[in-house]
Structure 1
Amino acid sequence: MIRAKTILKKSVRLFRESKSFFVFKPFLMLCQFYWFFNQLNELKKSGDNTNFNNIEYYPCLFDNINYTPLEPTYFFQDSWAAKHLFDIKPSHHYDIGSSAKTMGILSQFIPITMIDIRPIELELPNLYFKKGSILELPFADNSLETLSSLCVVEHIGLGRYGDSIDAFGSEKAIVELKRVLKVGGVILFSVPIDSENKIYFNAHRAFTRDYILALFSDFEILDEKYHYGLKMYDEYDPQKGFGTGLYMLKKRSN
């Protein structure tokens, strides 16, 4: 009984810490524990492998599914950004607050400096980090050749990541991104899009295409893609509702 309680506590902790697509449901959890102990019993009956005498209990209760779980937004946008970076081949790329995992992979092909309010604890050759805010970037005006900020701007000013509440946080962040990018420079940028400008407090904002392009009115569109559900599209469709807009933009001269 003590062993079962220990396994249960560890499972609940792992479940809550994971980025599972499942909603926590006690009955489902009990069913999966029944499966877990059956599997454990099957393992013990399958043979006595003396190379592995010690068993640590580490229940993975929701991986026995018949498909590979993916978060489609990051799957599509990170692949899209990688393709463009490989095509551009900048001498050094700068990223503001995007996925550290993605930038870590890309840094093995292109030197990358990441800026974030939360320090990265891991080190990797070719990946550099500076602590900073998207509202006050540690770069001179018109100084960067390429820049990315993927699914970041929509959070600014909503307090989700410990930042100060600001009704114009997203707009101020875009002004700062534009400031540091040099004329002719390229930014890879993504935000949630919807049929109207909307706040999903305190997760993120969603934008219309018109509003995004108005905020980047001094930029040329090199590429734009839209993710709705499980597919990518070439055009913004407000009737599809919530999605993600991906924009490759080039800074024009004033």
Structure 2
Amino acid sequence: MSFIAEYQTFLNQSDNPNFRTSTGYLYPCLIDRTSQTPVEPVYFFQDTWAARKLFALKPGHHFDIGSSAVTMGILSQFSPVTMIDLRPLEVSLENLSFQYGTILDLPFANDSIESLSSLCVIEHIGLGRYGDPLDSWGSEKAVKELQRVLKPEGNLLISVPVDMECRVYFNAHRTFTRQYIIDLFDPLQLIEEQYVYGMNVQEHYDAERGFGTGLFHFRKPAQDR
């Protein structure tokens, strides 16, 4: 049945005096009648993973660099969160604060952050997509800065696209192999890894499956005493 025909049928059978109906209020939603619940698997699995990790770690304060404001807003309800981004956040929420900054020059001292995340961010750095300067080494520089500010025994949650080789999809993002990510974050210790391929999540990297998203929990080693 077409939208107009369905609207006419609704009018013919409408007997609820509590609501006013008018053609001036028509608001067609024509793509929502689906056979399955729509879900974007990368953000579904990534965000639930990050929530599980943060709930288990229970940091006194969590800092995030450039991730989704929706995700951080939810996570802030069980651990105070400060978001760092180039783009100001125009909403306010208890336990969620904003600080201007760039992942290439974070406004924090060395070894100062107990709990840190940057989800689906470092693959974009240096490609100009979000107004940042072009830099073919942008991802590597971002990783170094995350390592610099993370406190010894502090936790870092990241996610990046993975593939069978490292590639640049200009100006959308880069992809990484598992080994390149592990090497980039050395000497951080890998605590947990998961991989999203299509509508599934698994614990093992599979280069033959091609494009996916890697979820990584790293921890900075304790300093020698």
TM-score, L = length of structure 1: 0.85
1:71 partnered with 2:40: yes
Letter in 2 for 1:71: E
Letter in 2 for 1:192: P
Which residue number in structure 2 is paired with residue 131 of structure 1?
100
Which residue number in structure 2 is paired with residue 106 of structure 1?
75
1:241 partnered with 2:210: yes
1:178 partnered with 2:151: no
For residues 58 and 20 of structure 2, the distance between their equivalents in structure 1, rounded to whole angstroms, comes to: 51
Q: CA deviation at 1:160?
A: 0.9
Structure 2 matches for 1:195-206, cutoff 5 A?
195-206=164-175
**Larger % of helix: which?**
1
1:44 partnered with 2:5: no
Q: CA deviation at 1:40?
A: 1.1
SS in 2 for 1:224: strand
SS in 2 for 1:189: strand
For residues 172 and 118 of structure 2, the distance between their equivalents in structure 1, rounded to whole angstroms, comes to: 17
Which residue number in structure 1 is paired with residue 2 of structure 2?
35
For residues 140 and 43 of structure 1, the distance between their equivalents in structure 2, rounded to whole angstroms, comes to: 63
1:21-79 deviation per Cα after TM superposition (whole angstroms, max 9, x unaligned): xxxxxxxxxxxxx7221221121111232222243121111001111111100000110
Which residue number in structure 2 is paired with residue 19 of structure 1?
none
Which residue number in structure 2 is paired with residue 147 of structure 1?
116
Structure 2 matches for 1:111-126, cutoff 5 A?
111-126=80-95
Which residue number in structure 1 is paired with residue 57 of structure 2?
88
For residues 53 and 82 of structure 1, the distance between their equivalents in structure 2, rounded to whole angstroms, comes to: 42
Q: CA deviation at 1:253?
A: 4.5
For residues 186 and 99 of structure 1, the distance between their equivalents in structure 2, rounded to whole angstroms, comes to: 19
Counting aligned pairs with the same residue, the percent is: 56
TM-score, L = length of structure 2: 0.95
SS in 1 for 2:2: helix
Which residue number in structure 2 is paired with residue 22 of structure 1?
none
For residues 150 and 158 of structure 2, the distance between their equivalents in structure 1, rounded to whole angstroms, comes to: 13
Structure number with greater CO (CA < 8 Å, separation at least 6) is 2
For residues 53 and 253 of structure 1, the distance between their equivalents in structure 2, rounded to whole angstroms, comes to: 66
List structure 1 runs of 4+ shifted beyond 3 angstroms: none
* Count of aligned residue pairs for this structure pair: 221
Letter in 1 for 2:20: N
Structure 2 matches for 1:180-219, cutoff 5 A?
180-219=149-188
SS in 2 for 1:183: strand
Which residue number in structure 1 is paired with residue 26 of structure 2?
57
1:156 partnered with 2:125: yes
Question: Please, what is the CA RMSD of the aligned residues?
Answer: 1.1
For residues 160 and 6 of structure 2, the distance between their equivalents in structure 1, rounded to whole angstroms, comes to: 43
